[in-house]
């Protein structure tokens, strides 16, 4: 029973946390290129999380620092060799907003089977 309550609390927390992150994705245009799981013009947030967690041997703090720098300064040439897509820099994102965005990406769960 305790496990069920804990899982429910975590899911509700992620959902409300996720809605705040989604507002920021819309505000800063992230959703034009990224989605949680599907490829739009750029990699999904889940793909980013998995690729760089693997690169940093599961170190979530290293992932978050990397995401911070990439979002702040922009990047290019890291995904999809056949596209010359560039992620613009986002110096206008406030620090507290950046934390919400990065925490969301770093905590996005594995996609449900069958989706």
Measured CA to CA, the distance from residue 99 to residue 90 in angstroms comes to 13
Cβ atoms within 10 Å of 55's Cβ, excluding its own:
12
Helix axes 45-55, 95-107, angle to 10 degrees: 80
How many angstroms from the chain centroid is the CA of residue 44? 8
Taking Cα atoms as reference points, which of 40, 10, 6 lies closest to residue 25? 40
pLDDT in tens, 18-74: 789 999 999 999 999 999 998 888 899 999 999 999 999 999 999 999 999 999 999
pTM of the prediction? 0.80
Measured CA to CA, the distance from residue 44 to residue 31 in angstroms comes to 10
The superfamily (CATH) of domain 19-107 is Cytochrome c-like domain (1.10.760.10)
pLDDT given for residue 7 in this prediction = 42
Measured CA to CA, the distance from residue 76 to residue 84 in angstroms comes to 8
């Amino acid at each position: 029973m305790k496990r069920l309550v804990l899982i429910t609390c975590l899911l509700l927390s992620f959902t409300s946390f996720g809605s705040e992150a989604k507002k920021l994705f819309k505000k800063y245009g992230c959703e034009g290129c990224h989605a949680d799981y599907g490829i739009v013009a750029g990699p999904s947030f889940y793909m980013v999380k998995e690729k760089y967690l693997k690169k940093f041997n599961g170190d979530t703090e290293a992932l978050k620092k990397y995401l911070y720098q990439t979002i702040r300064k922009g990047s290019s040439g890291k995904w999809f060799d056949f596209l010359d897509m560039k992620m613009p820099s986002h110096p206008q994102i406030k620090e507290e907003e950046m934390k919400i965005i990065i925490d969301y990406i770093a905590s996005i769960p594995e996609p449900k089977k069958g989706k």
